[in-house]
Structure 1
Amino acid sequence: MTFSEVLFPGRHHAVTGFQVDFLHRLLAGEVRDADDVVVPLADDAVVVWAVTSANHAWTRRNPLPGHRREALVERVSVAADLPSLVVLVPDVPQHPRFAELVVTTVATALGHRPPPDPARTLVACSTPAVAESYRALGYTVVGVEDAVSDDADEQPSRPWEVVERLAHGDASWRLLAHPGTVAHYERYGVPELVTELFSDPVVSSEGDLTTTRDYRTYAASFETASGRKYDQVGHLLEPGRVVDVGCATGGLLERIAADPRFGESDLFGVDIARPLLDEAEHKKATGVFANPNIWFVRANILSGPVMPAGSVDSTVTVALTHEVFSYGAGRADVEAFARRVAEHTRVGGVWVNSDVLGPDEPDRVVDLQLRSDDGANPAAAREDLDALERAEVAAYVGGLSTDARMRQFAHDFPRLSGAAFVARSLGEGRWRLRLGDAMEFLTTKDYADNWLSECHESFCGLTMADWREVLTGAGLTLDPTSVAWRNDWLVSERFAPTARLHDVETGDELDWPVTHVLTVARRPPG
């Protein structure tokens, strides 16, 4: 059997010198299979590079977007005189029919050629499980890196190992990568990008803040609330260059884009979470935003400037700064974030921030009375939630009484958030604790759908006094419209039906404290 096509699947973030030499030897008929038989290739055989996870980018697992990888393969192919075609294959979860997905995608993308067929297509693959899935479809598979004998003096590095060497500052990656890879990386600043992605302590390997968040419900809640949020912050923004940091799926920017005041403005959405930006880009592609001058950027503003110094007229952050506090180094990172915003703000420009807020007297000790008749009351907190599926966690936590949910929160919140949390049970649903800790629980208790993710976050880490210090310390002036306020919907719908606050000494019932903050900070002249 003589093959006229080599299907070479992989993420192809790097092309190594070994891979190029191997493909040349394969096309020249110099490679033997596992049975020590020469694999015959036609004189006009072509290599089809199937670039997998092509729509997944800016993460440690997939640092480069598909179009950059396609350009890399094309550049190396031309430089190395390899007859090549490139097909981008979308990212999918692990699936037993993955090989079929790749083959079908290639057939669809290269409709001018016969579809891959075991009679004419050889598969080059070194991942055992993936290789076996192609064999199950009838394809002959030849190893690439794993084709080297175990007795060889040195085993070839795989592309991903080359990327990891780069990320860890090992200059030997340049010797292992094909020269075309090195040139492509330097042209597009890939070494800096990869180093930043691998050193980011906040973002996971998948490009998200957390692996326990249900982004479907998370995004839906932001979209639902975006109209209300725009009513709160929109009139405070200045036209010009407007940046929404923590833009999620772009719901707030959608309202800004529809406002005639911002018809001539340039709008930017910045977020860390890849799943949210994917949806924002999809909305842009389908014409959702009235103002076409809109861009989305995946970045962590704490890692470096996102916008040039002094270039932004308005920055808006909604429900973001508590995540900076929670997933970073607490107040220190909020202060760093504030300095970064101040740096990119024009003189006279504004930063409008809306978020949750801790009570004015967070250290005051209070008694919190909770209902125990509104759900199940296990004797102790469950300690195996991390091992459950998200839906199982949601069902379990959602079925607990408010009192039992406090017991579970007292177990999960300190271990996941790293914050101190001490709540002493007095029996019959009564707990003694700090007011700040009481509000941490009350503002989190109803998020059963994202329980583990929400228990990673501190909603009450900063008070209004803290915010004044943070903003003035960053060189900004606090506008008189800034205010700490109480969300009375939370009081009537979430707090009052299940809880009461009491003074420890008198037993008197206490009023509910502030829950949210709106700060309007400007960059002064000089």
Structure 2
Amino acid sequence: MNRYVLFPGRHHLLTRFQAEYLGGLAAGGTVVWAVTSANHENTRRNPVPYHRREAAIERFSLLAGLRSVVVPIFDTAPTDRFAEVTLKSIAVATGLDLTPDDTVVACSTPEVAALYEKLGFRIAEVEADPANDSEPQRPWDVLLRLAAGDGTWRELAHPATVDVFERYQLVDAVRTVVNDPVVGDEGGLTATRDYRTYMEAFAAGAARKWDLVRPYVRPGRIVDIGCGAGAVLELADRDPGLRESDLIGVEIARHLYEECVHKKAQGAFGNPNVYFYRRNVLGGAVFEPRSVDTTLTFALTHEIWSYGGQLDSLRRFVQAIYDHTVPGGVWINSDVCGPDGRDGAVRLTLTNADGDNPAAPRRDLAQLSPAEAAAHAAGLSTRARLDQFAVDFAFPLTYEPADDAVEISLGDAMEFLTHKDYTDNWLSERQEQFCGLEFADWKALLTDVGFDIDPASHAWRNDWIIDNRVAPVASITRLDGSRIDWPATHVLTVARRPLNT
């Protein structure tokens, strides 16, 4: 008899086969469920929150007649000491000191099983056990059936999982997260973003953003979509005119959402009606129709354009905001945008005296670590960085050499010039298109969906960026050599849902 069966895994879904297998393996003993990635949820790899997984395991154990202990194991960086970390976490949480003398490890993943074997534990291979009469489906394969709309998942899943999934409406939630075209496996838009520098940049600009939009904010239910680490909502929280309002942050990236929750727990907000949701608006409605007075979005819409299906994804997003806005309510959007007449050809001259000028751009930066890629990009001259950007950029960008300059469209020129200094997040930023829409396109999209455009809406130029980052190393002219003013780089739209809708 095995006194303990250690069963490590993510355990998002439990199967009928597992009940039968564990029933024989753990007869008279205790199953210790080490639920890994317990601090992750709402991602493709981890779509179900830990507390729902724990509830299903407890019900599974009751129905299967198993004595169980459930232990959350927080995610760690990849390490060959994973087994030791798990065993220590179990000891701290439960007082159980599992040893090879009294414990067998149930694990069907060879790489994980090898870590426990190295410590002397015997392995029961569960779905991979050669003694099985058939080839049972692994839990993840069953979950993928659910995500694909294959009803046979219910026949393979244990009734405990089916019950919990139905009671807590997890079927649609799992299906949405697993099939989401925008969100990555770890619950963010990109796996290469340095969220520390990202949060610092947002915090530094929060006051400027809030000053820009405050005159148009309508009290009531105020939602900041893509709220980052909640810096703008912190300023809204301090505004006496909004003390009776609900302040709601919606964030898709796990790292940023967790920082919001941490801030709230630490008392950063005086308003008791501050809430945070980890949601992707493109995955379905977050709010009830006509329930939000003010929606704020900062530097978000270009990400929806870039990581989704460009105009199709952006239109769905705009429609979702229109649908949840009360008649008379407002959506205030601040973001980068393309210059007017972005398809027109210009002559772009760039300095080559501010960095390295290799014979050709590298084509392997995506295979390097983010730090290595950032260091290489940062070391290039502005002219060489254009060549590297053209290789790495996820969207078509073309130009032709012309003596000491290049001939390029105005939109592509500004695309490069407004990207070129984001070397810290080079691999992330190369996936984002800043100049997909110009102001006229925004006006057409908003009115087509049904919004009225407030006269305060306008395209504008960030002169600090031009004066400090662009003009010192670049110049543009028309093809005939005549001068062009630096164009708009950003847009502010104040869109209202008409009262009679």
Does residue 251 of structure 2 align to residue 294 of structure 1? Answer: no
Does residue 309 of structure 2 align to residue 310 of structure 1? Answer: no
Give percent identity, aligned residues only.
52
- Residue from 471, 482, 487 that aligns with 1:513: 487
Q: What residue number does 2:329 align with?
A: 349
Does residue 180 of structure 2 align to residue 180 of structure 1? Answer: no
Aligned residue type for 2:38: A
Does residue 240 of structure 2 align to residue 260 of structure 1? Answer: yes
Does residue 75 of structure 2 align to residue 99 of structure 1? Answer: no
* Structure 2 unaligned spans of 5+: none
Question: Partners in 1 of 2:497 and 2:74 — Cα distance?
Answer: 44
Q: Deviations over 1:432-480 (max 9, x none)?
A: 1111111101000111111122121111111111111111111111111
Larger displacement relative to structure 2 (492-501 or 309-318): 492-501
- Residue from 37, 44, 51 that aligns with 2:35: 51
- Residue from 68, 79, 84 that aligns with 1:84: 68
Does residue 100 of structure 2 align to residue 118 of structure 1? Answer: yes
Does residue 423 of structure 2 align to residue 448 of structure 1? Answer: yes
Question: Partners in 2 of 1:75 and 1:200 — Cα distance?
Answer: 29
Aligned residue type for 1:346: V
What SS does the corresponding residue of 2:329 show, helix, strand or coil? strand
Cα shift at 1:254: 1.5
C-alpha change, 1:304 and 1:115, in structure 2 (3 Å) is: same
Q: What residue number does 2:448 align with?
A: 473
Question: Partners in 2 of 1:202 and 1:234 — Cα distance?
Answer: 30
Cα shift at 1:191: 1.6
Q: Deviations over 1:398-445 (max 9, x none)?
A: 0110011111112222xx13xx322111133x1111111111010001
* Structure 1 unaligned spans of 5+: 29-42
What SS does the corresponding residue of 1:302 show, helix, strand or coil? helix
Does residue 118 of structure 2 align to residue 136 of structure 1? Answer: yes
Question: Partners in 1 of 2:402 and 2:25 — Cα distance?
Answer: 75
Cα shift at 1:138: 2.8
Cα shift at 1:4: 2.3
Aligned residue type for 1:495: V
Q: What residue number does 1:22 align with?
A: 21
Q: What residue number does 1:494 align with?
A: 469
Q: 1:143-182 to 2 correspondence within 5 Å?
A: 143-149=125-131, 152=133, 154-182=134-162
Q: Deviations over 1:134-175 (max 9, x none)?
A: 12223233222222437x3x2111111111111122222111
2:3 and 2:103 in contact (8 A); partners too = yes
Question: Partners in 1 of 2:4 and 2:390 — Cα distance?
Answer: 60
What SS does the corresponding residue of 2:408 show, helix, strand or coil? strand
Q: What residue number does 1:278 align with?
A: 258
What SS does the corresponding residue of 1:511 show, helix, strand or coil? coil
Question: Partners in 1 of 2:24 and 2:494 — Cα distance?
Answer: 65
Q: Deviations over 1:6-38 (max 9, x none)?
A: 22111111111111111111233xxxxxxxxxx
C-alpha change, 1:210 and 1:361, in structure 2 (3 Å) is: same
Q: Deviations over 1:204-247 (max 9, x none)?
A: 22222122222222222112211221121123211111111111
Cα shift at 1:127: 1.6
2:4 and 2:26 in contact (8 A); partners too = no
Cα shift at 1:298: 2.0
1:75 and 1:180 in contact (8 A); partners too = yes
Q: Deviations over 1:307-329 (max 9, x none)?
A: 00000010000001111111122
Question: Partners in 2 of 1:435 and 1:375 — Cα distance?
Answer: 24
Question: Partners in 2 of 1:124 and 1:389 — Cα distance?
Answer: 34
Question: Partners in 2 of 1:363 and 1:171 — Cα distance?
Answer: 49
Question: Partners in 1 of 2:397 and 2:112 — Cα distance?
Answer: 47
Question: Partners in 2 of 1:14 and 1:336 — Cα distance?
Answer: 31
What SS does the corresponding residue of 2:418 show, helix, strand or coil? helix
Q: What residue number does 1:39 align with?
A: none
Q: TM-score, normalised by structure 2?
A: 0.97
Q: What residue number does 1:35 align with?
A: none
RMSD: 1.5
Q: Deviations over 1:10-68 (max 9, x none)?
A: 1111111111111111233xxxxxxxxxxxxxx4x221111110011111111101111
Q: TM-score, normalised by structure 1?
A: 0.92
Question: Partners in 2 of 1:354 and 1:441 — Cα distance?
Answer: 20
Question: Partners in 2 of 1:399 and 1:381 — Cα distance?
Answer: 12
Does residue 425 of structure 2 align to residue 425 of structure 1? Answer: no
2:193 and 2:425 in contact (8 A); partners too = yes
What SS does the corresponding residue of 2:488 show, helix, strand or coil? coil
Q: 1:322-341 to 2 correspondence within 5 Å?
A: 322-341=302-321
Question: Partners in 2 of 1:85 and 1:492 — Cα distance?
Answer: 62
How many residues were matched structurally?
A: 500
Q: What residue number does 2:172 align with?
A: 192
Cα shift at 1:495: 0.8
2:246 and 2:274 in contact (8 A); partners too = yes
